Amino acid sequence: MRIKALLAATALATSVMAAGLASTPALAETNVTFWQFSTRDADIAAWNEAIAAFEKVNPDIKINMEIVPWSEQQQRLVSALSAGGLPDVSMLGNNVVAQFQAAGALAPLDDYIAAYDKETGTDFAAEVWPGDKGYYNLAGKWWASPVNVETRALYYRKDLFKAAGLDPDKPPQTWAEFAKDAKTLTRDGVYGAGLSMSLDYFTVQNFMSAYLGYGARMIGDDGKCGFDTPEFKVALDTYVSVYKEKATHPDAPTMNGDTFRKGFRDGKFAMILSDPGLYKDLQNDKAPFLNDVGIAFVPAGEKNRSGFLGGWPLVLWDASENKDAAAKWILFATHGEALKNLAMKGGFIPGSVSLAKGAPWTEFPYPLFVEQLKDAKPYQYPGEAIPQMGQLEVDTIQKAVQAVALGQQSTDQATAQLCTTINEVLAR
């Protein structure tokens, strides 16, 4: 009996040990908190796919995605920066990377990039669009890895060009031609151009193509406002002339970008500067004039052709206690098949040069936008981004455009006020 009892006890102990071993993870998980700012169902699903693919090849790392809407991200990040609770990884608008880098809140990615390039045989720097380097490579180091890039092109109605006596195969090549054609095209209840004059991002995202194209620059070599120049004033006058000549909507000084886009979709405008997504909207609308929509490069100024450069990257927060795992996730999500899938599902151009030059971005209307990216520049070109860029983008340029359009200030007065405000912000 004693032997049977001993055997039973041994068997029980063995089963308990086996059960204990079975319940013990083979690998201890490292948790990475990731703040994702898009609330679109398609984007969330695409990110979940990327996370699943990453965790499959990195079973020791768990990515915990939290949805923080774009409208709340700045407040949430600033609050977490002072009170604690920052994520390991997050998206970030390209124009505010410098703000958080200057605050010491971000961790540089250079060592992780070097290891990634060595392991995969890639060249991180060569994959970044030229304009993006001014946003993400600051003080000689990389602080972000791009996910997407955005630029604008000129949408125009070939049928309306023909009806107005303009060559439908020759869209305006310069801002002066754009303003002239907009006036000619304004007829029969249609405005020549959907051109924003309001306190809205759509204004600066359009107007920057003009001021950079005329050779103006936001920040001079002395580190102060560089806009008080003849080049900037000519650009401002040319841009605003579209409104003064009644060639855009009379409410342009108060309308937002979505309203302008909807106006083009509804046939109210003959021309508009917009992103590739507008063509998808027109397809979804089954717009009756879809086959008459042409797409061309943004108008050039007297010095060059400059396109808007938007986009956002992933960043590594310095407060992270899991930097190695977090950096691995960043580089996985911003390269290769993971990034390609995200871009395809989200309908954007990937922040990787080689990906953007392959399918499906070889199909209309993407090729022209991809080529436009060669000339796409940040607001502060030719300098790198500065910490105050987010505030300057919102508070200054758009106010000058609106004030001149409404006749509240002359071009000289608006430019002087603009530079006073910029210099005050820079001095803080």
Residue 323 lies in a domain: yes
Answer yes or no: is 234 within a domain: yes
What's the pLDDT score for residue 3?
Answer: 37
Straight-line distance from the first to the last Cα atom of the chain, in angstroms, rounded to the nearest whole number: 88
For residue 261, give the CATH number of its domain.
3.40.190.10
- Asked whether residue 243 falls in the same domain as residue 337, the answer is no
Q: Are residues 168 and 289 in the same domain?
A: yes
State the pLDDT at residue 31. 97
Q: Are residues 57 and 135 in the same domain?
A: yes
Based on the fold, state whether residues 199 and 238 are members of the same structural domain: yes
DSSP 134-186: HHHEETTEE--EEEEEE--EEEEEHHHHHHTT--TT----BHHHHHHHHHHH-
Residues 239 and 338 in one domain: no
Q: Which domain holds residue 224?
A: 153-308+396-427
* pLDDT tens profile 145-173: 999 999 999 999 999 999 999 999 999 99
pLDDT of residue 131: 86
What are phi and psi for residue 49, nearest 5 degrees?
Answer: -65, -45
- The answer to whether residues 54 and 160 belong to one domain is no
If we measure between CA atoms, which residue out of 267, 273, 265, 270 comes closest to residue 156? Answer: 270
In a domain, 361, yes or no: yes
Q: Are residues 159 and 280 in the same domain?
A: yes
**Whole-number pLDDT of residue 378:** 87
* Closest by Cα among 314, 313, 312 to 88: 314
Res 28: pLDDT: 67
Q: How far is CA 316 from CA 57, 70, 259, in A?
A: 21, 18, 36
Domain membership of residue 385 (yes or no) is: no
* Residue 11 domain-assigned (yes or no): no
Domain membership flag for residue 218:
yes
Say whether both 189 and 143 belong to one domain.
no
DSSP 16: H
Please indicate, yes or no, if residue 5 is contained in any of the structural domains.
Answer: no
Co-location of 195 and 295 in the same domain = yes
Residue 368: per-residue pLDDT: 95
Asked if the structure places residue 21 within a domain, the reply is: no
Q: Are residues 211 and 273 in the same domain?
A: yes
What residue ranges of the chain have pLDDT lower than 70?
Answer: 1-28, 394
Say what the pLDDT of residue 386 is. Answer: 85
Query: Is residue 174 located within the same domain as residue 255?
Result: yes
Crossing angle, helix 336-346 and helix 41-57, to 10 degrees?
Answer: 170
Question: Residues 138, 181: one domain?
Answer: no
pLDDT of residue 408: 98
Q: Which residues contact 229 (CB under 8 A, 6 or more apart)?
A: 216
How many structural domains is the chain composed of? Answer: 2
